[in-house]
Amino acid sequence: MKIKVINPNTTLEMTKGIEHAAKSASRPDTQILAVSPKMGPASIESFYDEYLSIPGVLEEVKKGEEEGVDAYVIACYGDPGLHAAREVTDKPVVGIAEASLYLASMLAARFSIVTVLPRIKTMLEDLVDSYGMSKRVLNIRCTPLGVLDFERDPEGGIETLRQEGIRAVEEDKAEAILLGCAGMAEFADSLEKELGVPVLDGVTAAVKFAESIVDLGKKTSKLKTYKYPERKEYVGVLETFGQSKSPIK
Q: Which string of DSSP letters, residue by residue, matches 192-244? A: HHHHSS-EEEHHHHHHHHHHHHHHTT-----SSTTSPPPP----GGGGGG--S
Q: Which of 61, 168, 157 is nearest to 110 (CA)?
A: 168
Give the distance between the most distant pair of CA atoms in the chain: 55
Residues whose CB falls within 8 Å of the CB of residue 101, separated by 6 or more in sequence, listed in order:
128, 131, 133, 136, 137, 178
DSSP state of 34: E
Q: Is 25 exposed, middle or buried (0-12, 13-18, 19+ CB in 10 A)?
A: middle
Question: How far is Cα 185 from Cα 84, in angstroms, rounded to an integer?
Answer: 25
3-state DSSP call for residue 138?
A: strand
The dihedral through the CA atoms of 83, 84, 87, 89 has a sign that is: negative
The dihedral through the CA atoms of 156, 10, 4, 221 has a sign that is: positive
Q: Quote the pLDDT of residue 230.
A: 86
**Quick check: 11 and 37 in contact, CB under 8 A?**
no
Provide the terminal-to-terminal Cα distance of the chain, rounded to the nearest Å: 21
- Per-position pLDDT tens, the chain of length 249: 999 999 999 999 999 999 999 999 999 999 999 999 999 999 999 999 999 999 999 999 999 999 999 999 999 999 999 999 999 999 999 999 999 999 999 999 999 999 999 999 999 999 999 999 999 999 999 999 999 998 899 999 999 999 999 999 999 999 999 999 999 999 999 999 999 999 999 999 999 999 999 999 999 999 999 999 987 666 665 544 444 444 444
Q: Quote the pLDDT of residue 236.
A: 63
Helix locations, 88-226, DSSP H? 96-107, 121-130, 149-152, 154-167, 188-195, 202-215
Question: How far is Cα 155 from Cα 77, in angstroms, rounded to an integer?
Answer: 21
Q: Quote the pLDDT of residue 231.
A: 72
Within 10 angstroms of residue 245's Cβ, the number of other Cβ atoms is 9
Question: How far is Cα 16 from Cα 2, in angstroms, rounded to an integer?
Answer: 17
Q: Quote the pLDDT of residue 235.
A: 66
Q: What is the pTM of this model?
A: 0.93
Question: How far is Cα 209 from Cα 88, in angstroms, rounded to an integer?
Answer: 20
Q: Quote the pLDDT of residue 35.
A: 98
